[in-house]
Amino acid sequence: MITVIDREGAEHSDVDWEDDESLMECLVRNSFPILATCGGNASCSTCHSFLDQVSFETAGEIDEDEADVLDSLTEDEREPTSRLTCQVPWDEDLEGAVVRIGPF
Ligand code: FES
């Protein structure tokens, strides 16, 4: 289970993240407003969200494609724990993560 904070600031605890999903797929399945227009190919940034610090460190390396997309965001849009959620696979160590939906 993870906690998701939506764009209005409402906290949704006990969001189920299944072990065959990326974090983006989990958010979409749970009806959060994630467009994911590129289908999870790290090229659109519409799945951009923020992880809590511990989960950000647990989620692993950001590869070059994801880094390029994150670098295209403005300073207002990006935060130190920004990730493209399509590039974050399920990991049992991410149990309890807190994910704040990005600005678009
Ligand atoms: Fe497009 Fe993640 S779904 S970058």
Look up the ipTM and state it.
Answer: 0.99
Residue 35 Cα to ligand 1 middle (Å): 8
Q: Are 56 and 85 in contact (CB under 8 A)?
A: no
State the closest ligand 1 atom to the C-alpha of 84, by its place in the atom list counted from 1. Answer: 2
Ligand 1 pocket test target in 44, 73, 99 with most atoms within 8 Å of CB: 44
CATH, residue 88: 3.10.20.30
Residue 41 Cα to ligand 1 middle (Å): 6
Domain coverage including residue 67: 2-101
Indicate if the pLDDT at residue 7 is higher than 80: yes
Question: How far is 51 from 101, CA to CA, in rounded Å?
Answer: 9
Residue 38 Cα to ligand 1 middle (Å): 5
For the Cβ of 47 lying below 6 angstroms from any atom of ligand 1, the answer is yes
Question: How far is 53 from 10, CA to CA, in rounded Å?
Answer: 19
Tell me: the pLDDT tens digits for 31-83?
Answer: 999 999 999 999 999 999 999 999 999 999 999 999 999 999 999 999 999 99
For the Cβ of 42 lying below 6 angstroms from any atom of ligand 1, the answer is yes
**Total domain count, the chain:** 1
Under the banding of pLDDT at 50, 70 and 90, the label for residue 104 is confident
Is-above-0.90 flag for pTM?
A: yes
**CB count, 10 Å around CB of 96?**
12
